[in-house]
Structure 1
Amino acid sequence: MKHVNFGPEAAGTDAPALLVLSHLRWDFVFQRPQHLMTRAARSRRVYYIEEPVYGAPSDQLAVRRDASGVTVITPQLQQGRSADEGRASTARLLASWVQAEHLHVYDLWVYTPMELPVTAGLTPRVTIYDCMDELANFKGAPPELRAREAALFRRADVVFTGGYRLYEAKRDQHPNVHCFPSSVDTAHFAQARQALPDPADQEPLPRPRLGFYGVIDERFDIALLGELARRRPAWHFVLLGPVVKIDPASLPRGENLHYLGMKRYTELPAYLAHWDVALLPFARNAATEFISPTKTPEYLAAGVPVVSTGIRDVVRPYGERDLVRIADGVDAFEAACAAALDERGTPAGEARRQRADAFLATLSWDRTWAEMSALIEQAAERNEVALVGVADD
């Protein structure tokens, strides 16, 4: 039986608080969790619970309020604890904190099945699993991740997936699965179409510029990038983002390869404004089979031509609608980049941009959050009816 608490919040004007369990740091790359939770924070209290950091003199929760309105909670644990010990300690800390904060009614939103044990002392109104990636396919994924996800499916009241391919893989594992692919804040990225100043670290670089931003990890096709840079010394490749889980020394180097590091979300339009082509050079491997890159609609909103490898959630819908050029293999990818460069300033290029704008008009993170919220409330209603039925028995 599901445990559902009803308290003064349930009957009041405030929506129940939302506890979010995530494997991604709040201040890391601004992506799906940040887009959704900043919107959630407009109408409810949002507590974003990160994975622990170790080295504190005693176990405690570090709590801070982000400018977005989201409260970020970071467990700070003593060094030397095993992962299971750390989760058990976090579970005790979190349960005590929820009680101290008088959170009588709240929902639980989970991104990371591995951390499910930290919810042991919680009794949410609704449990949501936002499955944004197939984490079990990532480099270094723990072997017990799939079992933890199966347990989460049994507990979840509603499941969201971050893309179509992921939806196909998960829809038979739960009776209430809904697909919510990556959306976009069009107005933010459309700033790139204005005369924004070229950022200081990019301004000296020659044109044409072919750019990428995001996490540079095992999903990134290093060999493709290196061969493109070798073949086209006049093209300059701008790479923005942190390098994680791979050795930075493995990245290709050259006079036309420029690694400018991680940038804030607010800075991205200024970089995009001075790119000639935006790239999605993802490798085709287990870690990329289920991804739905948030940057696809962001690139298009900026008005920059896009070339991608054949990632399923880019092919459908962007490739099928001829909004993004799809090319696998270095020969085809090079040809697609050349075609995108040639199309700049032509009627065909403008027509492609107009088609992209028409499609983007159907997308927004605000709409995504509103639709998700409605499904959460439907799940809450079902739980309440079920609880009343149990009481009547």
Structure 2
Amino acid sequence: MSWAGPFQQPIGKSPKPQEASQAAVVFDPLIPTLLCLSHLRWSFVYQRPQHLMSRFARSYNVLFFEEPVPCDEAEPWLEVRPDEQGVQVLVPRLPVGREAEADASSEALRALLDDYLARLGVEDLLLWYYTPMSLAFSRHLNASTVVYDCMDELSGFRGAPPQLLQRERELLERADLVFTGGYSLWEAKRTLHDNVHPFPSSVDIEHFATARGFQNNPPDQAGIGRPRLGFYGVIDERFDIALLEQAASLRPDWQFVMIGPVVKIDAAALPRRPNIHFLGGKTYDELPGYLAGWNVALMPFALNESTRFISPTKTPEYLAGGCPVVSTPVADVIRGYGESGVVLIADTAEAFVAACEKALELAADREEFLKNADRTLGDMSWDQTQTRMQEMIECLA
């Protein structure tokens, strides 16, 4: 039953149960509980679930239930890891081998979840799904509201389980409210449910705007020459490896900085050229420091089933950080930013390089570029997105 989703982070040897229960768990019985069931790990890449759940934690007891990982113990147990933002991260630990057995895994996850909810005394429960696969162990729960936040078309990703589409149909029947991660997904789902709303990727402008004032590069980037063209994010089947190699070959005087973990593809297949620099994964707090040292920010996405419906969070983040953006023709990027003048679209390596040259010209007139970037961003914010979502939930009561 378990499936490592598109951004899943590998997890090593699990801690002992007694080591995982030291931190105090804060639970307010007077407010509702939001149980978020996710295929993404809280501590991997900071993105939509983390932005939203950390904000919902101001009004709800938020429990973030991850996919199981193997442990050496003979019996299943639940690691509870309180996050500094008020979210309780729940990591089910299943004995080696059991996590791969669908029926045994579902039974164990259901028991762990039921036991923890009972111990907390949860009565007013809201269910929030990021993956329909979680229905296998949660469909029995009695919830006042069921939300399906469809941030990606998971069936288009490599390794998607064959039951996914059937489970999604079941979830759409049960859900009271459906959100989508962009307009393309909304167009694909709006005929399947009568209460579907698009919420494209937003941005924490204050966080990324710090890049505009950074003076010092991180040590592993400081020695890289200029101009620097950078990308951060997960490097997986959505990333156009061939495009990167061709662009780097066409402009050997440019430096391409790639930040992020390599997932679900062979790292040996990545291009190795003197002007391509893979710096590995960085924390959310570190990203503005790297972005500050770039002349142009890149979104070299492959055009395939896994990118057909994406609405990249990094588009507004790059702009908030003060960088012009060059992207391949992803539908939601064209729709949201194609006429902005600060996000340039290109579909071939030659066109991509030409767009980067134009972006370098934009960056040279920094004052004018920042004015246009801020106009494009407007009042976009995760605070606004979460507030609108919560209002829709409360209207159902």
Match of 1:19 among 35, 39, 42: 35
Task: Name the residue aligned to 2:375.
Answer: 358
Q: CA deviation at 1:15?
A: 3.6
Q: Name the residue aligned to 1:8.
A: none
Q: What residue in structure 1 maps to residue 317 of structure 2?
A: 298
Identify the match of residue 325 of structure 1 among 337, 344, 347. Answer: 344
Match status 1:376 vs 2:386: no
Residue of structure 2 equivalent to 1:5: none
TM-score (norm 2): 0.90
2:240 paired with 1:224: no
Give the corresponding residue for 1:176: 195
Is 2:236 the counterpart of 1:213?
no
Matches within 5 A, 1:117-266: 117-266=136-285
SS in 1 for 2:84: coil
Checking the alignment, whether the CA contact within 8 Å between 1:14 and 1:43 is kept in structure 2 is no
Per mean C-alpha deviation after superposition, the further-off stretch among 239-248 and 354-363 is 354-363
Q: Give the secondary-structure state (helix, strand or coil) at the position aligned to 2:222.
A: coil
Distance in 2 between residues matched to 1:75 and 1:42, nearest whole Å? 25
Q: 1:46 to 1:333 in 2, by over 3 A?
A: same
Distance 1:339 1:14 in 2: 56
Counterpart pick for 1:272 among 291, 300, 303 = 291
Give me the whole-angstrom Cα distance separating, in 2, the residues matched to 1:174 and 1:202: 47
Matching residue's letter, 1:132: M
Match for 1:239: what amino acid?
M
Q: Distance in 2 between matches of 1:322 and 1:203?
A: 29
1:386 corresponds to: none
Within-5 A mapping of 1:329-340: 329-340=348-359
Q: CA RMSD of the aligned region, Å?
A: 1.3
Deviations 1:234-269 (A, max 9, x none): 111101100000000011011111100100000111
Q: 1:289 aligns with which of 300, 303, 308?
A: 308
Report the CA distance between 1:55 and its aligned residue.
2.5
Deviations 1:105-141 (A, max 9, x none): 1101000111211213411110000000000000111
Give how far 1:13 is off: 9.7
Task: State the Cα deviation string for residues 145-191 of structure 1 (Å, max 9, x = none).
Answer: 00010000011000000000000000111010011000000010000
Instruction: Report the 3-state secondary structure (helix = DSSP H, G, I; strand = E; otherwise coil) of the residue aligned with 2:220.
Output: coil
* CA deviation vs aligned residue, 1:343-378 (integer Å, no higher than 9, x gap): 3223xx643431220232321000000000011112
For 2:371 and 2:195, the matched residues in 1 are separated by 36
Distance 2:216 2:373 in 1: 25
Where does structure 1 lack aligned partners over 5 or more consecutive residues?
A: 1-11, 382-393
> How many angstroms apart in 2 are the aligned matches of 1:137 and 1:234?
36
Contact 1:195 1:273 in 2 (8 A): yes
For the 8 Å contact 1:16–1:45, the answer to whether it is kept is yes
SS in 2 for 1:54: strand
Q: Which moved more, 1:310-319 or 1:129-138?
A: 310-319
Name the CA distance, whole Å, in 1 between partners of 2:285 and 2:377. 20
* Whole-angstrom distance in 2 between the partners of 1:261 and 1:108: 34
Q: Which deviates further from its counterpart, 182-191 or 110-119? A: 110-119
The corresponding residue for 1:113 is 132
Matched, 1:71 2:88: yes
May I ask how many residue pairs the two structures share in their alignment? 367
Q: Name the % identity.
A: 55
- Label 1:302 to 1:14 Cα distance change in 2 as closer, same or farther (>3 A): farther
Paired residue for 1:80, among 97, 116, 124?
97
Give the secondary-structure state (helix, strand or coil) at the position aligned to 1:288: coil
Aligned partners of 2:219 and 2:369: how far apart in 1? 30
Aligned equivalent of 1:48:
64
CA pair 210-48 structure 1, distance change in 2 beyond 3 A: same
Separation in 1 of the partners of 2:90 and 2:378? 35
Equivalent-residue separation in structure 2 for 1:239 and 1:83 (angstroms): 37
Structure 2: segments with no counterpart, 5+ residues: 1-27
- Offset of 1:14 from its aligned partner? 4.5
**Distance in structure 1 (CA, Å) of the matches to 2:305 and 2:226:** 34
Amino acid at match of 2:389: M
- Where 1:286 maps in the other structure, the secondary structure is coil
SS at match of 1:275: coil
Displacement over 3 Å in runs of 4+: 12-15, 349-352
The yes-or-no answer on 1:37 pairing with 2:53 is: yes
SS in 2 for 1:184: coil
Q: For residues 302 and 266 of structure 1, do their structure 2 counterparts lie closer, same or farther at Cα, with a shift above 3 Å needed?
A: same
